[in-house]
């Protein structure tokens, strides 16, 4: 077992119910499909492999992600939330490489992970692909306070609950094999069937509910060919049962919106740019968030900091705070 970049105890933050600082990173696209066999590319993956050769390998740079991990270690959050797209085209060898990267990043108790659409690019055995990440994704002993539900048949680890300090990380998989030229996602009836109960129980337990999902659940929040096809259903669950924060990826740009919660207040829905993007366009530079949740006066206080990649380093990004909008 290699030494992790982030020093965390197996119970990091689990018994301190008063405060947690956690990082959110997304769309690291950290693997390479180079070396895939012709047979592995005889499906929709050929499109992704061509896109990687032509364009994406020039945007998603290992050096940027490596600078992020160095900065993350210095910031020392107690937990890391990752909202999918660790790979390019979801090959078993890419999922193995992503697992090795996770093992170097932090112990499984230090990460809560959901997969993205690139991680399920074509039909593949779950256990040989995103199932390899189960220790970083599945409900653990802390989450069983909220749920003992089995996972869904098509995404066995999800919905997943992991409680760290005052926060319940509730992960749903929107990662499904989509048709050619499409990058849609779907949570599906099986996960949605459990999600309402999970949100309800976590709320009753006084936990700060952070929903992790790759695609934005805001209806109309993304292009038609990239949308979450059951966004309306997921938004209704949040409207009925509530959540305190929704974090997503997929769009590779900063995105702040909201969904109506049960008490009439808006639930913040926040999307980030890619963690490995060597892209100077405003809103698309590599970035990660540091969220702090403090339990106080019978409620919660939420604050946000941003770390952005400029001139070869990550530094404080004072240009964007989703809580100010
Ligand atoms: Fe992505």
pLDDT at 7: 78
**How far apart are the CA of 219 and the centre of ligand 1, in A?**
19
Ligand 1 centroid–CA 273 distance in Å is: 9
- Rounded distance between C-alpha atoms, residue 237 and residue 226, angstroms: 21
- For residue 33, how far is its CA from the centre of ligand 1 (angstroms)? 15
Q: Which of 318, 310, 323, 319 is nearest to 71 (CA)?
A: 310
- Residues around ion ligand 1, judged by CB within 5 A, are 27, 85
Residue 80 Cα to ligand 1 midpoint, Å, equals 18
In the reported structure, the alpha carbon of residue 297 is separated from the centroid of ligand 1 by a whole-number distance in angstroms of 39
Write down the pLDDT at residue 178: 85
Best CA proximity match to 306, nearest among 68, 40, 112, 31: 68
- Whether the link from the prior residue into 159 is cis, omega within 30° of 0, is yes
pLDDT computed for residue 316 by the predictor: 97
Domains and CATH numbers, the chain: 19-324 (3.60.21.10)
- Residue pair 221/259 in contact (Cβ under 8 Å)? The answer is no
CA of 171 to the centre of ligand 1 (A): 17
Per-residue confidence (pLDDT) for residue 61, from 0 to 100: 93
Q: Which of 180, 183, 125 is nearest to 154 (CA)?
A: 125
**CA 217 – ligand 1 centroid, Å:** 16
Q: What is the pLDDT of residues 41-59, one digit of tens each?
A: 778 888 888 888 888 888 8
Please tell me the predicted confidence (pLDDT) of residue 313. 95
Q: Is 19 exposed, middle or buried (0-12, 13-18, 19+ CB in 10 A)?
A: middle
Distance 24 CA to ligand 1 centre (A): 14
Which residue stretches of the chain have pLDDT < 50? 1, 10-14
């Amino acid at each position: 077992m290699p030494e992790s970049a982030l020093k965390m105890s197996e119970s990091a933050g689990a018994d301190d119910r008063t405060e947690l600082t956690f990082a959110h990173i997304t769309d690291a696209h950290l693997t390479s499909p180079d070396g895939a066999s012709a047979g592995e590319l005889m499906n929709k993956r050929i499109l992704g492999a061509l896109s990687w050769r032509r364009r994406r390998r020039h945007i998603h740079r290992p050096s940027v992600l490596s600078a992020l991990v160095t900065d993350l270690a210095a910031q020392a959050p107690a937990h890391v939330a990752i909202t999918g797209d660790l790979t390019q085209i979801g090959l078993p060898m890419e999922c193995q490489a992503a697992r090795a990267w996770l093992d170097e990043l932090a112990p499984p108790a230090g990460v809560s992970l959901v997969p993205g659409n690139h991680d399920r690019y074509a039909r593949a055995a779950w256990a040989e692909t995103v199932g390899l990440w189960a220790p970083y994704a599945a409900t653990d002993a802390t989450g069983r306070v909220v749920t003992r539900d089995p996972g869904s048949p098509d995404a066995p680890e999800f919905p997943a609950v992991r409680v760290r300090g005052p926060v319940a990380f509730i992960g749903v998989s929107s990662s499904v094999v989509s048709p050619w030229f499409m990058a849609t996602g779907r949570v599906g009836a099986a996960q949605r069937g459990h999600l309402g109960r999970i949100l309800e129980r976590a709320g009753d337990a006084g936990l700060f509910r952070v929903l992790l999902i790759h695609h934005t659940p805001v209806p109309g929040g993304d292009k038609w060919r990239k949308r979450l096809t059951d966004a309306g259903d997921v938004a209704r669950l949040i409207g009925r049962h509530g959540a305190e924060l929704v974090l997503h990826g997929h769009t590779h740009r900063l995105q702040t919106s909201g969904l109506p919660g049960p008490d009439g207040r808006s639930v913040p829905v926040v999307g980030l740019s890619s963690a490995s993007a060597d892209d100077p366009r405003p809103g698309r530079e590599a970035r990660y968030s540091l969220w702090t949740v403090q339990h106080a006066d019978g409620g919660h206080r939420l604050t946000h900091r941003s770390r952005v990649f400029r001139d070869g380093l990550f530094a404080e990004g004072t240009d964007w705070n989703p809580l100010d909008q």
